[in-house]
């Protein structure tokens, strides 16, 4: 009898450990909160590895864009960060792609001009002025430097740095 109860507990324990390792996924909570706030054109894409909730969609007014971010932040809580990539109808939907391309080019030039960062594997995703930085650096100082560069770039509204620190193997 004792062996049977241990066997039935083991799969449940294993499943709970796997779920804990991945961390909570707030997608359903965020989408529900957005719908309750009548922000039906906004949705969320959760990047569990980076712990980033990417808000996407199109709204009528800047206040709706801000409200979507506030609603999402409340739903995500301390689980991760919200990156607001929502477009405002008529205001930036036609020019966002051009501006995003300009931001990406400026960021690449800034990294290429930096004597240390130019030798690192770094990429940028830009959506409506929100930048996600990915890649690898050798130290926390390099990651901090990269964050400073991105925040200083013209047109960047928000950013998340999910660059991994991988020290050189000796």
pLDDT > 70: what percent of the chain?
A: 82
Flag whether 136 is in a domain: yes
pLDDT value of residue 7: 45
Q: Could you tell me if residue 131 is inside a domain?
A: yes
Total of domains in the chain: 2
First-to-final CA distance of the chain: 53
Q: Does residue 170 lie in a domain region?
A: no
Residue 114 C-beta-side C-alpha neighbours within 13 Å: 21
Q: Where in the sequence is the domain holding 45, given as residue range(s)?
A: 27-88
* 21 vs 135 pLDDT, higher one: 135
13, part of any domain:
no
Rounded to an integer, the average pLDDT of 14-38 is 72
76 belongs to a structural domain = yes
Is residue 155, in this structure, part of any structural domain at all? yes
- 3-class secondary-structure state, position 160: strand
pLDDT at residue 49, rounded to an integer: 85
Mean of pLDDT values over 37-59: 91
Q: Look over the chain and give the mean of its residue pLDDT values, rounded to a whole number.
A: 84
Answer yes or no: do 132 and 84 share one domain: no
Residue 108 lies in a domain: yes
Q: How far apart are CA 115 and CA 107, in angstroms?
A: 14
């Amino acid at each position: 009898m004792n062996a049977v109860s241990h066997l039935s507990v083991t799969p449940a324990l294993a499943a709970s450990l796997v779920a804990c390792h991945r961390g909570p996924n707030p997608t359903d909570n965020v989408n529900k909160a957005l719908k309750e706030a009548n922000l039906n054109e906004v949705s969320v894409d959760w990047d569990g590895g980076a712990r980033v909730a990417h808000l996407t969609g199109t709204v009528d007014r800047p206040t709706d864009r801000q409200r979507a971010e506030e609603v999402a932040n409340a739903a995500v809580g301390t689980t991760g960060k919200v990156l607001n990539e929502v477009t405002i109808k008529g205001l930036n939907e036609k020019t966002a792609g051009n501006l995003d391309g300009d931001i990406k080019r400026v960021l690449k030039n800034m990294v290429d001009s930096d004597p240390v960062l130019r030798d690192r594997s770094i990429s940028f995703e830009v959506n409506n002025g929100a930048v996600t930085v990915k890649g690898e650096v050798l130290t926390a100082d390099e990651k901090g430097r990269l964050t400073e560069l991105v925040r200083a770039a013209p047109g960047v509204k928000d950013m998340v740095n999910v660059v991994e620190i991988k020290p050189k193997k000796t």
